[in-house]
Structure 1
Amino acid sequence: MLTSLAFIFLVGLSMAAICQRIKLPRIIGMLITGIVLGPYVLDLLDSSILSISADLRQMALIIILLKAGLSLNLEDLKKVGRPAIMMSFVPASFEILAFFLFAPYILGIDRISAAVMGSVLAAVSPAVVVPRMVSLMEEKYGTKKSIPQMIMAGASCDDIFVIVLFTTFTGMAQGGSANFVDFLNIPVSIVLGIILGAVTGYFLSWFFETTYALKNYVRNSMKVIIVLGVSFLLMAIETWLKGIVSVSGLLAVVSMACVIKLKSTEFVSKRLSEKFGKLWLAAEVLLFVLVGAAVDIRYTMDAGLAAVLMIFVALFFALSVY
């Protein structure tokens, strides 16, 4: 495993630097590294690290979500409420509709399978969107009109919306039927996730401030560990309650970080944001290299031009919204 981690960090960072040098996004270099080192090309990554790849990717995602929440301003989110809500489901709906209408003719599949494929394409990955939006916020690019905040909020809710649709369409493809309760889970998951995160963030802020007032000061490094541990629990709660009630762990983590920023002193929230930003430097490489390693390049080659054409058709439908 240590050899695999060495390859992931050293080769991943090198490829990211090369891509940055030739004016390409760093993420491309990391993804290419994962594809090349992964089991479908050179097969240089140990099976032990690939078996826990999903957990490692989720941990990396939590780190950037915390960084995002500690960088968000709730007043900015209030300004973009309606546009963010529209972004969370309108573009995805049009992409799924495009697959439903045209994929049977272009790819030769039935309409339910087309809907499943459309929901896969429509899913916006917070792991890809959030880091870039955080970067734009730090550069103050587009922040006057709260554009990065709007995209970040929309991407978080889009993920929940599309996952519910994907689950529903998959069940239909396996002989089941659509259930109204499944669609009701979308707003329930969003609201409960935000409430859970807000309550947790308020408690953590109270704990940090109380210990400081009692002169039993908790170091910022220790706060990072506490916040990270609580975030893991919030994501686990989503799994524990599955089948009982829908709760978005992703939104709970972001909501918790936003409340910590709101209720804590500026110095504390700034230091926490900086420390999670440093953790993200390593987590980013791990996340995207492992994402690349999960890509089976053989399917891409087999899909051919028909799949590429279908993707462009779906993207055209999504862009038509704007």
Structure 2
Amino acid sequence: MLTSLAYVFLGGLLLALLSERIGLPRIIGMLLAGVVLGPFMLNLLDASLLEHSTSWRQMALVIILIKAGLTINLKDLKQVGRPALLMSFLPASFELLAYIFLAPLLFGMSTIDAALLGSVMAAVSPAVVVPRMVYLIDKGYGIKKSIPQLILAGASLDDIVVIVLFTSFLSMASGGSLNLFQFLNIPLSIVLGVLLGAFIGFVAIHFFKQVPTLHLAQKMIILLGLAFMLLALESWLKGRIALSGLLAVMSMAAVIKIKSPKEDTMLLADSFGTIWIAAELLLFVLVGTAVDIRYLGNAGLPAVLMILPALVIRSLGVLISISGSHLNKKEKLFVVLAYLPKATVQAAIGTIPLATGLESGKMILSVAVIGIVLTAPLGALLMDTNYATLLTKDN
């Protein structure tokens, strides 16, 4: 395990720096390191590390979500309420419909299998999007119109909607019937996540005030422990009560930002930003290990010809969501670019249809792999190279 972690951090950092040196986003090097080190190429990583890859990725994602919550201003979210709400489901719905239309034409899939594929592909990657929006908030790009906050909120809710759709379509594809009550899990998961996170945030603030001698590192440990408990609670309640653990983590951190002195919040945010440097390596290298390059040839060019128009249709959903807002054309284009990348969600659920024995499972996994390889680097590259020209730097 220790040797494997050494490979992950050193290999991921080396290729990330090389990517940066030639003008590419660091994420490309990290993903490539995972592909090379993973079980489908050199196979240098310990099986125990890969077995718990999902948990490791969630732990890493928690760090940037805490940082996001400590950075975001809830007043800004009120400013983008309607567009953020629409962006939580409209772009994903448009992309899902695109797959329902295109997958039967290109791969001969049934409508329900095409819907299942669409639900796998429709989620935006929080791991790619969230750290970039936090960076923009820190640097002051687009904050006057709350553009990073809009994308953060929409992307966080988008994943909840897509996971519920995926669960419903998977049940139908496996021979079950559509349970309309499952769709109630979407608002329930959001509301419970926000309320529980806010409650835990208030409890944490009260504890910090009661124990003023706590050091910064001790506060960070407490926040991490609480965040992990929120994720664990989501897992424990699965199948009984819908709860978004990741949304609860952001809500907890946002409440702490509101109720803490500004200096304390800034110190916490900066410290979690520092930890993210290592967590980012762990997250994206492990995402790379999930990319089975053997599946790239199964779908090949037809998959690319399906993914690209689906992204165009998704972008139409984004534009409709932000129509009537105060964003200009350049800012709207940036929002479209920010909603392109796929990675963590596809790596997490792309293998499930195959594991459940569905005939379409192999093709769904193949398209998911191609989607990660194509859109994660592309989305990161487009955001990293265009934010300064598309967004206004505010004081």
Sort the TM-score into its range (normalised by shorter chain): over 0.9
1:297 aligns to what?
A: 293
2:106 aligns to what?
A: 106
2:328 aligns to what?
A: none
Counterparts of 1:242 and 1:225, CA distance in 2: 26
Counterparts of 2:13 and 2:239, CA distance in 1: 40
Counterparts of 1:5 and 1:28, CA distance in 2: 19
For the 8 Å contact 1:201–1:259, the answer to whether it is kept is yes
Which of the numbers 214, 218, 222 marks the counterpart of 1:218?
214
1:171-320 maps to which residues of 2 (within 5 A)?
171-212=171-212, 217-320=213-316
**1:317 shift after superposition:** 1.0
The one-letter code of the counterpart of 1:220 is L
- Structure 1 unaligned runs (5+)? none
**1:266 shift after superposition:** 0.8
The one-letter code of the counterpart of 2:285 is V
Do residues 14 (structure 1) and 10 (structure 2) align?
no
The one-letter code of the counterpart of 2:260 is S
The one-letter code of the counterpart of 2:37 is L
Counterparts of 1:70 and 1:240, CA distance in 2: 26
Counterparts of 1:106 and 1:171, CA distance in 2: 24
Counterparts of 2:108 and 2:307, CA distance in 1: 15
The one-letter code of the counterpart of 1:13 is L
SS at structure 1 position matched to 2:89: helix
The one-letter code of the counterpart of 2:134 is V
Do residues 55 (structure 1) and 55 (structure 2) align?
yes
Do residues 93 (structure 1) and 93 (structure 2) align?
yes
Counterparts of 1:275 and 1:242, CA distance in 2: 32
**TM, length-normalised to structure 2:** 0.79
Counterparts of 1:32 and 1:50, CA distance in 2: 16
Counterparts of 1:240 and 1:63, CA distance in 2: 21
Counterparts of 1:19 and 1:142, CA distance in 2: 26
RMSD in angstroms over aligned alpha carbons?
A: 0.9
1:137 aligns to what?
A: 137
**Identical-residue share of aligned pairs (%):** 60
For the 8 Å contact 1:37–1:43, the answer to whether it is kept is yes
Counterparts of 1:320 and 1:219, CA distance in 2: 48
- Structure 2 unaligned runs (5+)? 320-395
1:152-163 maps to which residues of 2 (within 5 A)?
152-163=152-163
The one-letter code of the counterpart of 1:235 is L
1:28 aligns to what?
A: 28
**1:207 shift after superposition:** 1.2
**1:320 shift after superposition:** 2.0
Counterparts of 2:214 and 2:81, CA distance in 1: 35
For the 8 Å contact 1:231–1:253, the answer to whether it is kept is yes
1:72 aligns to what?
A: 72
**1:210 shift after superposition:** 2.4
Q: Name whichever of 32-41 and 120-129 sits farther off.
A: 120-129
1:167 aligns to what?
A: 167
1:38-95, CA deviations, whole angstroms, 9 ceiling, x for partnerless residues? 0101111111211121111110011110011001111111111111111110000000
Q: Name whichever of 161-170 and 116-125 sits farther off.
A: 116-125
For the 8 Å contact 1:209–1:264, the answer to whether it is kept is no
How many pairs were matched up?
A: 318
Counterparts of 1:286 and 1:32, CA distance in 2: 13
**1:218 shift after superposition:** 0.8
1:2 aligns to what?
A: 2
Q: Name whichever of 284-293 and 38-47 sits farther off.
A: 38-47
